[in-house]
Amino acid sequence: MWSIFRNDNEWNEKTVVGFIAFLVMVLFALLDLVTGYVGKDLVINETIYDSFTWIVIGCFGIAGAEKFAKKDSNSGRNNQHYGNDDQNYEE
């Protein structure tokens, strides 16, 4: 359980946060249906609901972009050199 907080874990934290925010939005929707059936109005501040929407979109969007970016960086087209290269560059 606590291994998710290590730096070398296998979990994508952005996906976990996005999924939890999505579950909260589903809970809001279900509570709205139940209170509507009972005849009462569930008052949810629009700013709060919109914030959860942006969290879901942002988390899943970033996680998806990282997934595709990893494929591009492993394709061999990355010609960047780091550290000490054996090549001499003249200025």
Give me the tens of pLDDT residue by residue for the chain, a chain 91 residues long: 667 667 777 877 888 888 999 999 999 999 999 999 999 988 888 898 899 999 999 988 888 888 888 765 545 554 555 555 555 555 4
| Domain assignments of the chain as residue spans, ordered by start | 11-73
What letter does residue 83 receive in the DSSP assignment? Answer: S
| Token pair listed for 56 | 């879901």
**Rounded to an integer, what distance in angstroms lies between the CA atom of residue 77 and that of residue 68?**
14
Predicted TM-score (pTM) of the model is 0.63
User: Which residue's entry shows tokens 């589903």?
Assistant: 26
Phi, psi of 59 (to 5 degrees): -65, -50
